[in-house]
Amino acid sequence: MTKPPLTLFLAAPNGFCAGVDRAIKIVEMAIEKWGAPIYVRHEIVHNKFVVDGLRDKGAVFVEELEDCPDDRPVIFSAHGVAKAVPAEASRREMVYVDATCPLVSKVHIEAERHFADGLQMVMIGHAGHPETIGTMGQLPDGEVLLVETAEDVASLSPRNPDRLAYITQTTLSVDDTAGIVAALNARFPKIVGPHKEDICYATTNRQEAVKAVAPKVQALLVIGAPNSSNSRRLVEVARANGCDYSMLVQRATEIDWRAIEGVSAVGLTAGASAPQVLVDEVINAFRDRYEVTLDLVETAQENIEFKVPRVLREPA
């Protein structure tokens, strides 16, 4: 029986970004240097396949520092942590390594600089997301006001409307964030923005690639975890750009083949915390069922690399 033809449009860039790659290396190098177990506060990155792989190597994932013993090294996730977390680790004389993405750290530094200048902060982000919690935790309570939508801007009650700055979570929808920034500028004309966009290069690049693919396809799959902000935004971007059937899948086993029966063009991408092996797995699953023509749609090239902390590069 002959397989039906299908064009698989692969959006590029996709998958691991430099911050995720660095965070995973930090855990692997820590296990190599200090032996297992190594404790990791929160999932190092939001991907079950990655987390399970590191757990198999000797990483123990916990939600809070209180769940870690004093005598084993602990790593803070790529999403960043509130200042109170490393302060408590230091008080307990723990060995700790901060795997916060350098682009998230940049936002932390920005917030501190504005605070030092006497400005109150508005953070555009998702309530409850680890990155938002970590960024808001860089400053004292009340110094960071959170907005999630343009509508939220109307209900903001700042201390002084003329003394405000805004920062953003690094994994937001570029288009949605532009709308919120416009609302902030309209209501608070003197608000200070970042020197350079807070939304990271990887988030922006993956969204641009999806925008290029979405009009070409009848269905689009995003490989990523349900708790991955950047992956969920890719689904939204695809829908907003003409592909109504856009779904998040963690593995090839989650693909609803009946839902895409009869289509001739499918888009594929992966969130910044999804490894290449899962992209290959999905492509192979399509090849099992279809006569696949793979079409790469590349809108940018990435060659950024972040160094791991010096403590891991030094001998034990």
**291 and 207 belong to one structural domain:** yes
Pair 182, 212 in one domain: no
Domain match, 94 and 111 both: no
User: Would the CA dihedral through 276, 278, 284, 289 be positive or negative?
Assistant: negative
CB atoms within 10 A of CB 73: 20
List phi, psi (to 5°) of 274: -100, 125
192 part of a folded domain: no
Residues 177 and 253 occupy one common structural domain: no
User: Higher-confidence residue: 252 or 197?
Assistant: 252
Give the pLDDT band of residue 308 (cuts 50, 70, 90). Answer: very high
Predicted TM-score of the model (pTM): 0.94
What's the pLDDT at 46? 92
Co-location of 11 and 22 in the same domain: no
Domain contains 89: yes
Closest CA to 150 of 122, 130, 119: 122
- The secondary structure of residue 259, as a DSSP letter, is T
Task: Flag whether pLDDT at 213 surpasses 90.
Answer: yes
What residues have CB less than 8 Å from 284, skipping those under 6 apart? 252
pLDDT digit string, tens, across residues 221-275: 999 999 999 999 999 999 999 999 999 999 999 999 999 999 999 999 999 999 9
Q: Which two tokens stand for residue 82?
A: 């509130």
Residues 175 and 240 in one domain: no
11 lies in the same domain as 69? no
Average pLDDT value for residue range 145-154: 97
CATH of residue 150's domain is 3.40.1010.20
Q: Is the pLDDT of residue 1 over 80?
A: no
The domain tally of the chain equals 3
For the residues 88-100, what does the mean pLDDT come to?
97
The letter for the amino acid at 45 is: V
Are 236 and 261 in the same domain?
Answer: yes
Instruction: Tell me if residue 131 is catalytic.
Output: yes
Considering 28, 88, 131, 143, which one is annotated as catalytic? Answer: 131
Residue 28 has pLDDT above 80, yes or no: yes
Residue 124: domain span: 103-187
Res 203 pLDDT > 90: yes
Residue 24's pLDDT is what? 97
Confidence of residue 129 (pLDDT cuts 50, 70, 90): very high
Q: H/E element holding 279?
A: helix 276-289
Residue 7: what pLDDT? 98
Residue 10 in contact with residue 280, Cβ under 8 Å?
A: no
- Note the helical H segments in the chain: 18-34, 48-57, 84-91, 102-116, 130-136, 174-187, 201-213, 229-240, 276-289, 310-313
Q: Starting at the earlier edge strand, list the strands of the sheet with 144-147.
A: 144-147, 120-124, 164-168
Domain boundary among 101, 136, 153: 101
- The enclosing H or E element of 266 equals strand 265-270
Look at residue 29 and tell me whether its pLDDT is greater than 80: yes
Residue 231 β-bridge partners:
none
Which one of 133, 164, 187 terminates a domain? 187
Q: Which residues pair with 266 in a beta bridge?
A: 8, 219
In this prediction, residue 185 carries a pLDDT of 97
- Is residue 247 located within the same domain as residue 286? yes
Please compute Rg for the chain using Cα positions.
21
Contact by Cβ (8 Å): 153, 177: no
pLDDT of 69 above 90: yes
Residue-level pLDDT at 15: 95
pLDDT at 21 over 90: yes
Does residue 307 fall inside a structural domain?
A: no
pLDDT of residue 314: 83
Same domain, 127 and 153: yes
Rounded to whole angstroms, the Cα distance separating 288 from 214 reads: 23
Task: Give the CA count within 13 Å in the CB-facing half-sphere of 139.
Answer: 26
Co-location of 218 and 267 in the same domain: yes
- Type of residue numbered 94: M
- Residue 25 has a pLDDT of 97
